[in-house]
Structure 1
Amino acid sequence: MDNVVAAPRLTRAGILFSVTVDYRQYLCLVPAATLAILSHSKDPKLDLLITYCAFRTKIEGVARRVINAGVAGVPVVVSSIYFH
């Protein structure tokens, strides 16, 4: 299980997190741009971790649906196109 993070973690690309689907852990990434879109923020200093926490349930639900749909990758990138 080396593809698992214990808690959401800030990276240069966005927030790295893990979700469980069918008893298996998946490493996922929600990009910074997606977090800005979700929060409707244009603030260049947007706190990504706070934004992730505010939308965590929605983000992790979308991540699970993306994984169930067969989207592959390590990490699985949960971009804004999946939220429409």
Structure 2
Amino acid sequence: MKISKKNKTYIFILFLVVVLIYNSYLKTKTIAQEGYSGGSKDINKKFEDINNKYENLKKVIAMLQAEIGLIKDTINTKLKR
């Protein structure tokens, strides 16, 4: 059975693709295992940081709304005079 040069190229490329997919599968499998064993603390800490930033943002927005209310009141009182 003769294999043409074109078919050899296709077989070689297919082999490379299979090897790359297999290697990426092995790496994701080990990363998933590591993440499951000890990564949950890091994820929880990130969520806590995000929650703290969200709470701080809510406080800043509330202060800005209060300032805007004061500015509106002063403008209205000056316009009424």
Does the alignment reach a TM-score above 0.5?
Answer: no
**Pairwise TM-score range, normalised by the shorter structure:** under 0.3
Which structure dedicates a bigger proportion of its chain to strand?
A: 1
| Structure having greater relative contact order (Cα 8 Å, sep ≥ 6) | 1
Structure 2 length as normaliser, TM-score?
Answer: 0.26
Which structure dedicates a bigger proportion of its chain to helix?
A: 2
Of structures 1 and 2, the larger Rg is shown by 2
Structure 1 length as normaliser, TM-score?
Answer: 0.25
